[in-house]
C-alpha cells in the first residue's frame, strides 16, 4: 500500500518509520514547496500533487492547516481519510466549536469575535479573564491573547484587529479562561468498520504554549471512561477513520474539551515505546483498512520534547530508560527538534528516571523538567 501524507514534517517521518515493517510506503507532500518527498530523506520523489494522488492508494494529513483547494483535489480522488471535513474542523476554531457542540461534548464557553462590539459583548457574556484565539492558523499557542483586565481591552483589540486584517476569513474565538488542575489528552483510532482502539490518557505539561512533557496515565478509570465517551461521540459524528487526538482540561475530575487534532499528535509519541502498537502504525492500519493494533500500555512511559537543541549529553544517550527520536530538522530556537521517550518498570521508577535525566539537560531546552 502507498500512503500520501499532506505535510512533510516529523509526523510524516514517524508514519514512514512505522509503515515500513508492514510494507506500507509513505511519501509526503511538502505544502510549502509543492514537492512530493521521501519523509526520511526529504528527497524529491514525484513531480506535483496530481501525480502523487494518482500514485497513492490512500491520502491522509499530518496537520490541519492544509489549504482548502488542496483538500478539495484530494477529496475528489475519494482516497482521502479521515475526511476533509475533519481536517477543516481541526484547522478552524469556529468549525471546531460547532463540531464539539454538535457531538454534545463539554467545552469552554465561547463567542466568535469579528468587531470591537463583538468583543465587548463577549466580555459581558463570558467575563474576564478570557483567552482569545485566532480562528485560523493557530498552533503551539501562537495567535493567542490573554485578556485579564478591562484596561487591557484597548491594546489587545488593536493587536487583534491588525492580526485579523492579515488573513482572509480570519476571526477570533473568545473563550472563558478555564482554571484547570491539569491538561490531559486522548489519542484514539477509529477503523473503517467503526471499530475503535483508544490509548490510555496522557497528562501534558505545556511551557509557553508548547507541549514539553507528556506522561501516560496508569489507572484513572473514571477519567478514561469520560474521555472515551467523548472520543466516540466526536469520531462517530465525523465518521472518522484514523487517529484522532483530543486535548482536555481536567477541572476537579470533570473533563472539558480544549481542542481536537485530526491526526497523530505530539502527546501520543510515547506510544512508540509505551504501547503495543504506536499511534503512527495505528493511523496507517486504520486508513489502509487493516485491523487496528492493541493500544495496551506495556510499561510506564513519558515523553520529553527536545526544543531548539540538536545534541544530547552522552549520559542521556547511555541511559537505558531513554529512547531518542530526532526529526532531522535544522536547529532553530524553540523548534521541536526531537523527543525522548522514557520508560521504566513502575510509575515511581519513571519519576526517578525523569529526575535523573533532568540533571543532565538544559532547562531552556527542556523546560518541563524543572518542576520534577
Ligand atoms: P497546539 O499546539 O496544542 O495545537 P494551540 O495553539 O492550538 O496549541 P491551545 O491548545 O488552544 O493552542 O492552547 C495552548 C495552551 O494554552 C493550552 O494547552 C492551555 O495550556 C492554554 N489554554 C488554552 N485555552 C485555554 C483556556 N480557555 N483556559 C485556560 N488555558 C487555556
Ligand atoms: Mg491546536
Ligand atoms: Mg493545544
Q: Which helix (H) or strand (E) holds 229?
A: helix 221-238
The residue whose C-alpha atom lies closest to atom 16 belonging to ligand 1 is: 209
The answer as to whether 100 is a domain residue is no
Give the ligand with the smallest distance to the CA of 256: 1
What CATH number is attached to the domain comprising 224?
A: 3.30.470.20
State pLDDT tens for residues 2-58.
Answer: 999 999 999 999 999 999 999 999 999 999 999 999 999 999 999 899 999 999 999
CB burial class (10 A; 0-12, 13-18, 19+) of residue 15? buried
The residue whose C-alpha atom lies closest to atom 3 belonging to ligand 1 is: 140
Question: Relative to the CA of 139, which ligand 1 atom is closest?
Answer: 6
**177 marked ligand binding residue:** yes
Give the ligand with the smallest distance to the CA of 209: 1
Contact partners, residue 334, CB within 8 Å, separation at least 6? 210, 307, 308
Question: Where do the DSSP E strands lie in 150-293?
Answer: 172-176, 182-190, 196-198, 202-207, 210-216, 242-251, 254-261
Are residues 256 and 351 located together in one domain of the fold? yes
The residue whose C-alpha atom lies closest to atom 12 belonging to ligand 1 is: 141
Q: What is the pLDDT of residue 273?
A: 98
| Matching residue, cell 483538500 | 71
For residues 141 and 209, the answer to whether their CB atoms sit within 8 Å is yes
192 lines ligand 1 (CB under 6 A): no
State pLDDT tens for residues 338-347.
Answer: 999 999 999 9
The pTM (predicted TM-score) of the whole model is 0.97
What mean pLDDT, rounded, does the chain reach?
96
The answer as to whether 121 is a domain residue is yes
Task: Please state, as a whole number, how many other Cβ atoms lie within 10 Å of the Cβ of residue 85.
Answer: 17
The answer as to whether 95 is a domain residue is no
State CA 359 to chain mean position distance. 28
- Residue 134, all three cell numbers: 485566532
The answer as to whether 280 is a domain residue is yes
Question: Relative to the CA of 180, which ligand 1 atom is closest?
Answer: 29
Instruction: Tell me the mean pLDDT in the region 225-252.
Output: 98
- Find the domain containing 214 and state its range: 182-371
Are residues 27 and 116 located together in one domain of the fold? no
Q: End-to-end CA distance of the chain, in Å?
A: 44
Last residue of a domain, one of 132, 148, 176: 176
Judged against a pLDDT cut of 70, whether residue 238 lies above it is answered with yes
What CATH number is attached to the domain comprising 50?
A: 3.40.50.20
Last residue of a domain, one of 125, 145, 176: 176
Question: Relative to the CA of 177, which ligand 1 atom is closest?
Answer: 28
92, 141, 178, best to mutate for ligand 1 pocket (most atoms within 8 Å of CB): 141
State pLDDT tens for residues 119-141.
Answer: 999 999 999 999 999 999 988 88
Are residues 259 and 148 located together in one domain of the fold? no
206 lines ligand 1 (CB under 6 A): yes
Q: Strand, coil or helix: what is 21?
A: helix
Judged against a pLDDT cut of 70, whether residue 81 lies above it is answered with yes
State pLDDT tens for residues 311-365.
Answer: 999 999 999 999 999 999 999 999 999 999 999 999 999 999 999 999 998 877 7
Are residues 298 and 165 located together in one domain of the fold? no
Are residues 320 and 354 located together in one domain of the fold? yes
Are residues 186 and 172 located together in one domain of the fold? no
State pLDDT tens for residues 155-167.
Answer: 999 999 999 999 9
Confidence band, pLDDT 50/70/90 cuts, at residue 368: confident
Judged against a pLDDT cut of 80, whether residue 369 lies above it is answered with no
Q: What is the pLDDT of residue 54?
A: 97
- Residue 255, all three cell numbers: 473533563
For residues 122 and 108, the answer to whether their CB atoms sit within 8 Å is no
Last residue of a domain, one of 35, 61, 80: 80
Are residues 252 and 128 located together in one domain of the fold? no
The answer as to whether 90 is a domain residue is no
Task: Please state, as a whole number, how many other Cβ atoms lie within 10 Å of the Cβ of residue 345.
Answer: 11
Are residues 300 and 212 located together in one domain of the fold? yes
Domain count, the chain: 3
**64 marked ligand binding residue:** no
Q: Which helix (H) or strand (E) holds 36?
A: strand 35-37
Are residues 210 and 343 located together in one domain of the fold? yes
Whole-angstrom Cα distance, residue 213 to residue 237? 30
- Residue 20, all three cell numbers: 515500513
**258 marked ligand binding residue:** yes
Are residues 153 and 250 located together in one domain of the fold? no
Considering only 72-76, 82-86, 210-214, 357-361, which range has the smallest mean pLDDT?
A: 357-361
Task: Note residues around ion ligand 3 (Cβ under 5 angstroms).
Answer: 247
The answer as to whether 215 is a domain residue is yes
State CA 282 to chain mean position distance. 15
The residue whose C-alpha atom lies closest to atom 13 belonging to ligand 1 is: 141
Q: What is the pLDDT of residue 371?
A: 58
Are residues 324 and 233 located together in one domain of the fold? yes
The answer as to whether 197 is a domain residue is yes
How far are the Cα atoms of 10, 56, 206 from residue 311, in angstroms, in the given order? 17, 36, 22
State pLDDT tens for residues 200-227.
Answer: 999 999 988 899 999 999 989 999 999 9
Q: What is the pLDDT of residue 329?
A: 96
Are residues 190 and 278 located together in one domain of the fold? yes
Amino acid at each position: 500500500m502507498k500512503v500520501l501524507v499532506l505535510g512533510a514534517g516529523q509526523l510524516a517521518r514517524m508514519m514512514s518509520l512505522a509503515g515500513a515493517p508492514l510494507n506500507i510506503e509513505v511519501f509526503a507532500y511538502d505544502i510549502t514547496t509543492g514537492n512530493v518527498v521521501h519523509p526520511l530523506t526529504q528527497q524529491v520523489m514525484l513531480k506535483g500533487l496530481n501525480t502523487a494522488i494518482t500514485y497513492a492508494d490512500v491520502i491522509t494529513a499530518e496537520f490541519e492547516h492544509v489549504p482548502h483547494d488542496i483538500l478539495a483535489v484530494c477529496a475528489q480522488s475519494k482516497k482521502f481519510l479521515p475526511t476533509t471535513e475533519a481536517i477543516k474542523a481541526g484547522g478552524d476554531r469556529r468549525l471546531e466549536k460547532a463540531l464539539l457542540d454538535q457531538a454534545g461534548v463539554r467545552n469552554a464557553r465561547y463567542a466568535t469575535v469579528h468587531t470591537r462590539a463583538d468583543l465587548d459583548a463577549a466580555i459581558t457574556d463570558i467575563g474576564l479573564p478570557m483567552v482569545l484565539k485566532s480562528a485560523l492558523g493557530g498552533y503551539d499557542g501562537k495567535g493567542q491573547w490573554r485578556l485579564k483586565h478591562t484596561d487591557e481591552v484597548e491594546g489587545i483589540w488593536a493587536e487583534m484587529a491588525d492580526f485579523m486584517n492579515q488573513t482572509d476569513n480570519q476571526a477570533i474565538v473568545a473563550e472563558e479562561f478555564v482554571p484547570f488542575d491539569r491538561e490531559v489528552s486522548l489519542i484514539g483510532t477509529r477503523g473503517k468498520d467503526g471499530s475503535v482502539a483508544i490509548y490510555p490518557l496522557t497528562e501534558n505539561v505545556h511551557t509557553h504554549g508548547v507541549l514539553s512533557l507528556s506522561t501516560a496515565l496508569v489507572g484513572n478509570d473514571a477519567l478514561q471512561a469520560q474521555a472515551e465517551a467523548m472520543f466516540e461521540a466526536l469520531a462517530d459524528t465525523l465518521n472518522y477513520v484514523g487517529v484522532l487526538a483530543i486535548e482536555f482540561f481536567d477541572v476537579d475530575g470533570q473533563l472539558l474539551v480544549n481542542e481536537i487534532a485530526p491526526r497523530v499528535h505530539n502527546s501520543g509519541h510515547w506510544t512508540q515505546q509505551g504501547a503495543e502498537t504506536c499511534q503512527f502504525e495505528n493511523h496507517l492500519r486504520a486508513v489502509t483498512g487493516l485491523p487496528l493494533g492493541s493500544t495496551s500500555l506495556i510499561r510506564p512511559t513519558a515523553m520529553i520534547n527536545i526544543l531548539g537543541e540538536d545534541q544530547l549529553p552522552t549520559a542521556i544517550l547511555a541511559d537505558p530508560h531513554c529512547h531518542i527520536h530526532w526529526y532531522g530538522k535544522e536547529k532553530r530556537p524553540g523548534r521541536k527538534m526531537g523527543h525522548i521517550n522514557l520508560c521504566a518498570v513502575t510509575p515511581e521508577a519513571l519519576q526517578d528516571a525523569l529526575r535523573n535525566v533532568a540533571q543532565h539537560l538544559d532547562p531552556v531546552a527542556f523546560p518541563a523538567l524543572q518542576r520534577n
